[in-house]
Structure 1
Amino acid sequence: MIPGGWSYFEDMNVLLLQGPVGPFFRRLSKRLEAAGAHAVYKVNFNAGDWLFFPMRSVNYTGSRADWPVFLDTFLEQKKIDAVLLFGDCRAYHEMAAGLARLRSIEVWVFEEGYVRPDFVTMERDGTNGHSKVPRNAGFYQSLADWPDEPEQQVGNVFVWLALWGALYFLAGSFGAALFPDYRHHRRFSLLEALVWVRAGWRKLLYAALERKTTRLLTDAMSKHFFLVSLQTAIDSQIRVHSRFESIEPFIREVIASFSRHGPPSCVLVFKHHPLDRGHNDYGRFIQRVCAEHGITGRVFYIHDQHLPTLLAHAAGLVVVNSTVGLSGVHHGLAVKALGDPVYDIEGLVFKGELDAFWQAAGTFAPDMALYRRFRRWLIDHTQLNGSFYAGDVEGDASCGASRPGESAAEAAWPLAAHRHAAVSTDSDDPPVGLSPEEEAA
């Protein structure tokens, strides 16, 4: 999805800010250097960042308020041509992106994949609500039905994600005195590292406790339940790119609507986000809201079921703006998004009101020809094949990719040139794995 592959950054001065937990940005720096980047710089904001990128990096120990002044000077002195970062809604990254654009410096944003489980996102100028992905069905319908490229399947990465997360927060906690003014988007303490440990044993516990529920949903209740996919409590997709301040108002709105308009023969099933497993539990809240609306016994709250299996047996799917919605479309399911995800396109998802969705889901079906074109375009323009947390990230870098100065909507389809981009691993790196949201999925 990068014009010309990683060699696009040849002769450029590249600045890396915060990346995913783990060694991904260290590997990326090596790949950029091998592709001919003039220089690759890295800024660490905390000891967790430093742990995975200790050499040839700059430790920023100032305050958030002083960050723009420091960065502006750095951009000027190092003649930076491109800034690469993970997550464009983090406070430090928002300020960095604004400054970079004022200086006509390219901003490339990494994020978890739009297409799960085998891809990660790399998009110029922004992702999710900041993405320039076209939302017009006619744009995709006008494209040729281009065949899919071979895709490398990734395996289970939860163990590696939990390991990297625990190490990151342990280092951040023990090294906090070295970065006294740093403010993280999660609770940055030793307790946060322990949360990842708790997430691991909760996964095993839920798998055992909810086995009967899984059998019920895939047997007697097959096609008689609506799945509601929850997102993490700190997800910027919720805080920044939706009308909901948190997960609880979303849960309340869905239960209230289902209590009034849901088919009597159906139940509601909330699925917890696997990455929020160690942090939050909405069980008591859901019970209380169900009691308020008189539907106690018609609502389930589950955690570690296999997502594709649930989608195959669900009557419909409700999300805010999670990429699980696109997985639902992939399974031919009626999907209602209460936010504004990149796939919120007429013909792919149900565009009516939530109150009408419960009855309409039985007759609504996504346009699968439109979906194939949309998915192909999305992969070619925004996705890299692989995982941040284990193995390689690689992608067909230039097929349909936006050229310099060209928005995604203006990109040619398809480009003839195909160059392969890969973030290679060291020999001691773990095997390739599944993206985190789909790991329990």
Structure 2
Amino acid sequence: MTYPLDLPAPVPLMLRRLLQHRRPLLLQGPMGPFFARLAAWLEQQGAKPYKVNFNGGDQWFYRRARTYAYRGRHEDLDAWLASFVVLHRIDALVLFGQHRPVHELARAVAARLSLPVFVFEEGYLRPDYITLEEGGVNGLSSVPKSAEALRFMPDEPPASRPQPVAASFARMAWYATCYSVAMWVARPVFAHHVYHRPLHPLTQALAWLRGGWRKLWHGWTQRDVWARLCAQERHKRYFVLPLQVHNDSQMQHYSPYPSVEAVIDEVMASFARHAPADEWLVIKHHPMDRAYRCYARHIAQRQRQWGLQDRVLYVHDVHLPTLLRHARGVVTVNSTVGLQALYHKVPVLTLGACFYAIDGLVHAGPLARFWREPGRVDEALYQRLRHYLLRTNQINGSFYGRLPGLPQGPVAVPDTEEATQWPSVISQPVPLEAAEGGGAPGWRALPMQVVASPQIGATVAEAPARASARASARQ
């Protein structure tokens, strides 16, 4: 799909694309009130957003009109969601976390029904942005994957700098606590929900306490590390390996490594064999994984194995931009830290599938060569990529702070043939008023005879029989 990139855009193109759909269905969002705020903004723009809640945490943060609770089994969600989409004339899905179990299934339903899927994600450009893409993010991103494509597009720098978003770690922790408690309390109501990770409130509280203690401990024990890294003799004399969260979907779906430990092992072994003897390797822990993982023992074992006791540093809460400015290069699986490194003109090598792994922008490899010949960053190409991201999929805002990228006034949506790029196979015989009823407890409350299209008629019309068959099999 191609987009008109030369239109003047008060908001990014993907957000204007979302506004072309008047009856979007919101599924799970980030922990907190972001989806409720988004729905309020969509209503101001004339849309009628719907929402499906899957657990008590969803319910706690989203209690607006046109909200439905799905309490059925995960294996029945396919038929339920297909019928819901048809009955309520849904014309787009909106979600956060494309690989969550409910969203994997929802994206498959959307593909069958030719519905666009809009996916939110943390910002590709940090810290003042969040990401919205159509079709998928990260490994499923629609960002051009070639230097030629980027150079062919108009290069339009942003008209102004982003406004501060006042994101707060304490606010995010509070949202996570409220979400996990509400999810736990409402377990009897949502007994069959399949969440993408454990979220017991007690274990989460203990984890956050452990994370707080580790932050204080590392701040004290590593108080002299910063002076060593910023010393003049160390400038451009070390490489950085930024670790990713252990259960990051980027690591699980777009990485050749089974674990973070496997990444550490390969990078340290290669560094020991091929890096100049006077270079250092700085391994930076991810701040969001502080409460759940510590790799100090594992790294110490590999230091002894490879004779790297004096050449590898394992650091925690250091100022990332400053760390990058002094680095000679960055090795990452597919973290957006790579984009930050490119911004600071630091060469990058990616080890996994990554949307910004563009020939001519990142090092082509192999890793053994990168240690000795990291090369230089093509600044003009990076700026083209950055400008493309800003005008297409980066929204000035935070899931846990301010949202200046959602303007209060009406947003002009381009009236072009692009609006028909998604030819939905759903027929629309249901009167608008008929779709404005109350919550639907399960698929049985949804009529199945509203579908006229032969492409999905069988899918939805046979849903009661297929769900009844599953129920019989469970008895």
TM-score bin, normalised by smaller chain: 0.7 to 0.9
Other-structure match for 1:179: 190
Match among 222, 236, 241 for residue 249 of structure 2: 236
* C-alpha distance in 1 between matches for 2:301 and 2:412: 51
Question: Which letter maps to 1:270?
Answer: I
Q: How many residues align?
A: 404
Match among 347, 354, 357 for residue 341 of structure 1: 354
Asked if the contact 1:169–1:193 (Cα under 8 Å) also holds between the matched residues in 2, the reply is no
Structure-to-structure mapping, 1:11-410, within 5 angstroms: 12-37=22-47, 39-56=48-65, 57-150=67-160, 151-190=162-201, 191-219=203-231, 220-361=233-374, 364-394=375-405, 403-404=418-419
With the length of structure 2 as denominator, give the TM-score of the two structures. 0.80
Asked if the contact 1:231–1:272 (Cα under 8 Å) also holds between the matched residues in 2, the reply is yes
Asked if the contact 1:47–1:176 (Cα under 8 Å) also holds between the matched residues in 2, the reply is yes
* C-alpha distance in 2 between matches for 1:320 and 1:398: 39
Distance 1:2 1:403, change over 3 A: farther
Distance 1:6 1:376, change over 3 A: closer
Question: Which letter maps to 1:139?
Answer: A
Question: Which letter maps to 2:49?
Answer: V
Following TM superposition, by how much is the alpha carbon of 1:293 offset from its aligned partner in structure 2, in angstroms? 2.1
- Report % sequence identity: 40
Following TM superposition, by how much is the alpha carbon of 1:279 offset from its aligned partner in structure 2, in angstroms? 0.9
* C-alpha distance in 2 between matches for 1:100 and 1:8: 15
Report the more deviating stretch, 330-339 or 166-175. Answer: 166-175
* C-alpha distance in 1 between matches for 2:329 and 2:17: 43
Question: Which letter maps to 2:111?
Answer: R
Cα deviation code 1:84-134 (max 9, x no counterpart): 000111111011011012112111000011111111110001111111111
Asked if the contact 1:100–1:107 (Cα under 8 Å) also holds between the matched residues in 2, the reply is yes
Following TM superposition, by how much is the alpha carbon of 1:393 offset from its aligned partner in structure 2, in angstroms? 4.8
SS at match of 1:254: helix
With the length of structure 1 as denominator, give the TM-score of the two structures. 0.86
Asked if the contact 1:120–1:386 (Cα under 8 Å) also holds between the matched residues in 2, the reply is yes
Report the more deviating stretch, 16-25 or 159-168. Answer: 159-168
Distance 1:273 1:12, change over 3 A: same
SS at match of 1:109: strand
Asked if the contact 1:252–1:289 (Cα under 8 Å) also holds between the matched residues in 2, the reply is yes
Other-structure match for 2:459: none
* C-alpha distance in 2 between matches for 1:198 and 1:404: 50
Asked if the contact 2:15–2:132 (Cα under 8 Å) also holds between the matched residues in 1, the reply is no
Distance 1:4 1:110, change over 3 A: closer
Report the more deviating stretch, 288-297 or 306-315. Answer: 288-297
* C-alpha distance in 2 between matches for 1:330 and 1:402: 36
* C-alpha distance in 1 between matches for 2:122 and 2:50: 23
* C-alpha distance in 2 between matches for 1:11 and 1:185: 28
Asked if the contact 1:6–1:35 (Cα under 8 Å) also holds between the matched residues in 2, the reply is no
Following TM superposition, by how much is the alpha carbon of 1:4 offset from its aligned partner in structure 2, in angstroms? 9.0
Asked if the contact 1:7–1:36 (Cα under 8 Å) also holds between the matched residues in 2, the reply is no
RMSD, matched Cα: 2.3
SS at match of 1:377: helix
Asked if the contact 2:165–2:403 (Cα under 8 Å) also holds between the matched residues in 1, the reply is no
* C-alpha distance in 2 between matches for 1:85 and 1:21: 12
Gaps of 5+ in 1: 408-441
Asked if the contact 2:274–2:368 (Cα under 8 Å) also holds between the matched residues in 1, the reply is yes
* C-alpha distance in 2 between matches for 1:199 and 1:144: 45
Report the more deviating stretch, 369-378 or 196-205. Answer: 196-205
